[in-house]
Amino acid sequence: MAETSAQKLAAELVNRREAINRELSRNGVRFGIYKNGTYHDQLFPYDPVPRVIASDEFDELERGLKQRVNALNAYLKDIYSDKRIIHDGIIPEEYVYTSAGYFPQVNGVTPPGGIFAHIAGEDLVQGEDGQWWVLEDNLRIPSGASYPLFVRDIERRICPTLFRDVHIRDNRAYPTLLRKSMDFVSTEGIAVVLTPGRYNSAFFEHAYLAEKTGAVLAFPEDLEVEGNKLWFVDYSGAKHRVGVVYRRLSDEYLDPFAFNPDSVIGVPGLLSAYRAGNVAIMNAPGNGAADDKAIYYFVPAMIQYYLHEDPILKNAPTYMPMFESDRKEVLDRLGELVIKDVAEAGGYGVVFGSSLDAARREELADRIKAEPRRFIAQEVIQFRDLTVIDPATGEPVPRKADLRAFVVTGKDTHVWYSGLTRYSSIPGQMIVNSSQGGGFKDTWIMAPDAQSGVQEDADQSRDREKIALAAEAARHSLALVTSSKTDTLYWLGRYTERVFTTIKRFFPFYDQVMDTDVDAFRPFARALDLPEDFADFDTFIKNFLYDAGNPDSVHAAIKAAFNNAVILRPELGSDLLQYVELALTNIVDASKHAANADDLYKQRDITDDLLAFWGGIENSTVDPTLKAFIFIGKYVERIDLYTRFGLPKEQLLPPLRKLASYAMTLDGMPLPQCFANGVRWLIGQMPVRGYGELADTLKTFLNGFGDRISASRLRDIGMISAMNMDAMKP
């Protein structure tokens, strides 16, 4: 009965798929893919038909997943200490020590709390007979939990009454589970999510999980090791002790002193602090020794060895070419098996023997003979198709899909009541990885019954509330904002203002052109240092408004604003940043009409988005100092643009006073370099533009600041502005 109700709800979501995808787009739910060496930031394709798993079926999966991850944690602890499983002959030592994921640098290190795999991503498929099979264990940096977490909130808002009637286990506890694990293993200090950067494929997830857990989103340059401890350095140079790092970069790039010396995205000395027990790293360095595809073969034996239990979940039937009998089986049946390169991930290095011609099959056989440790072979499991709505036709079609279940270990081991269901975008294709262009859908775990479902939600909501409060507190604190993020806040203000004012000032020139003054756009172009040698006005419009390849275009400015905004998700929150995403979406939509110069009112949507963003920032509970950095950038840019366009001096006084009032918020704090540089550059430009007196006013504003902002000097600038305005009145 419950599953029937869930299917009805799923059908309702199909009818709302455009609304759901629109919400995903405006919130920047993205996944990056590298093609031919170029990074492409794109929306992660979403399908509205969820995977529905019955309550009792999931209970069995939950038991099996806990068992498996507990055994893998025991294995990792063993091979980096006593190595009993090797001494007892359960796993040949050559498999352990030749694993690309085994790092002798962490031998003898037991991480804080004794946990190695804090977050495990277990990849499963369901056969056509209903049997679940484990395909892979991901214990290094498994990604994907943020997508079903985010989309469930949208689904609940799209169909609120239907979700009340259908009892699906609540998936909102994932940030709670993650934060509890962080707190359990933390040594002393703050929690950080360490991201390699904006152009990592899963950057959305890094920023979103930092936002939801209340952890600080940190870039490698924000961290340093001193006294064998890890410190987070804020923009003033103050240092904050770090107790736990949820790292989202690979082992070999973590610390150039210990791993790859050429890494420019690691933290020098991090492993030393970790080995000393002064910081926890989630997941632990060296975990790759347990999720090596060859070690997968031995997981059932691990379960029996460490837990003295029979495995609940089954491995896919697997052959090891290192073993002579298995190698013969593989070579004899190469055309029937799937061959996997153990060094690859993300769906790469997977070859279905049936897809190879005779010559390529012989070439693969030679490689297996030459490097038997590098490969495993598995029986092809005919796993179930799931229904997907074809985005082109709107019709339901079958597609292969897997399930990534997330298991979080802290004081206890928990299986998240959801998961990432990934599906192939190509009919019949069995590789469904996101990095291969696949999409995702939500995973609904049915509650055992209405009463227990309600109780479960009530129990989890209390912890969710604590985590939400912690996340809110972190978002409102300037104390953990770095120098690079002050620049990001400042330039977010400048780019959003650049878009707003250039669009607003463009329309009067546009009207003059429409009134037969065909060259009226040239002074506008001149004011912005844009080329004037366009053949006609339509060409200018296309270049100025829509050409993303032109760094001086409105489109490029919106994209720059977006690239700054997404870094600030933990500080400002997804609800506010969606307006910048909307502006980017609207310029892309408007560019589709550019060929005919159609409907320039579409630009009004962009300026409305930015007004909503600024208003949302101003009226939010975001710390005033964080707001100040954005609005300082905004008004520096406005003064620059107003002087370019030659506006009357009295129109410059309001932004000058605004600049002073926001700067006063930073009284006694270090003077941000970006702020000082921006004002100094303006002072140099204004006399040339005919605003020498205002340049002197800005000099008064800036002179004598030294290293810190002085509110008394800023009050002086406010008085000067007021006196100037009075003098200009008739």
User: What is the mean predicted confidence (pLDDT) over 348-377?
Assistant: 90
CA distance 50 to 163: 13
Which one has a higher pLDDT value, 488 or 27?
488
**Residue 101 near residue 285 (C-beta atoms within 8 A):** no
State both tokens at 3. Answer: 């599953």
Looking at the predicted structure, is the pLDDT value of residue 428 above 50? yes
Q: Which of 285-294, 361-370, 475-484, 543-552 has the lowest mean pLDDT?
A: 475-484
Which pLDDT score, from 0 to 100, does residue 406 have? 98
* Residue 43 binned pLDDT confidence (cut-offs 50, 70, 90): confident
Q: Which residue matches tokens 């214990």? A: 139
Contacts of 356 (CB under 8 A, 6+ apart): 334, 335, 364
pTM, full prediction: 0.88
Q: Which of 370-379, 392-401, 711-720 has the lowest mean pLDDT?
A: 711-720
CA distance 308 to 297: 18
The distance between the two most distant Cα atoms of the chain, rounded to a whole number of Å, is 100
Question: ∠ at Cα 329 (323, 334), nearest 5°?
Answer: 120
Q: What is the pLDDT of residue 298?
A: 96
pLDDT bin (cut points 50, 70, 90) of residue 86 is very high
| Residue of 526 and 514 predicted with greater confidence | 526
* pLDDT > 90: percent of the chain: 53
Specify whether the CB–CB gap between 637 and 528 falls below 8 A.
no
pLDDT of 474 over the 80 cut: no
Three-state DSSP state, 292: coil
Q: What's the distance, Cα to Cα, between the start and end of the chain in Å?
A: 80
Q: State residue 453's pLDDT score.
A: 42
pLDDT of residue 514 exceeding 70: no
pLDDT computed for residue 458 by the predictor: 43
Length of the chain (residues)? 730
Question: In the prediction, which pLDDT does 654 show?
Answer: 92
| Exposed / middle / buried, residue 404 (Cβ in 10 Å: 0-12, 13-18, 19+) | buried
Q: What is the mean pLDDT of residues 619-623?
A: 85
Answer yes or no: is pLDDT of 169 > 60.
yes
Of residues 586 and 215, more confidently modeled: 215
Residue that has been written with the tokens 């560019």 in this structure = 591
* DSSP codes, 464-493: HHHHHHHHHHHHT-GGG--HHHHHHHHHHH
For the cut 80, the answer to whether the pLDDT of residue 465 exceeds it is no
Provide the 3-class DSSP secondary structure of residue 263: coil
Domains and CATH numbers, the chain: 5-316+381-448 (no CATH), 317-380 (3.30.1490.270), 483-704 (no CATH)
- Of the listed ranges 19-28, 162-171, 196-205, 245-254, the one predicted with least confidence: 19-28
Q: Buried b / exposed e across 367-381, counting CB within 10 Å, b at 16+?
A: ebeeebbbbbbbeeb
pLDDT tens readout for residues 235-286: 888 899 999 999 999 999 999 999 999 998 999 999 999 999 999 999 999 9
**Beta sheet of 350-352, edge-to-edge order:** 318-319, 375-379, 337-341, 350-352
Residue of 636 and 706 predicted with greater confidence = 636
So what's the pLDDT on residue 163? 80
Q: Whole-angstrom Cα distance, residue 456 to residue 461?
A: 9
Give, as one character, the DSSP assignment of residue 69: H
* Displacement of CA 175 from its chain's centroid (Å): 14
- Given a cut of 90, whether residue 518 has pLDDT beyond it is no
Mean pLDDT of the chain: 85
Q: What is the pLDDT averaged over residues 580-585?
A: 89
Say what the pLDDT of residue 729 is. Answer: 36
Residue pair 180/158 in contact by the 8 Å Cβ criterion: no
From residue 128, how far is each of 353, 400, 578 by CA, in Å? 21, 11, 41
**What is the tens place of the pLDDT at every residue in 546-579?**
888 888 889 999 999 999 999 999 888 888 999 9
* pLDDT tens digits, 313-347: 999 999 999 999 999 999 999 999 999 998 776 56
Q: Which two tokens stand for residue 250?
A: 């690979």
Q: Among 176-180, 248-252, 561-565, 666-670, whose mean pLDDT is lowest?
A: 666-670
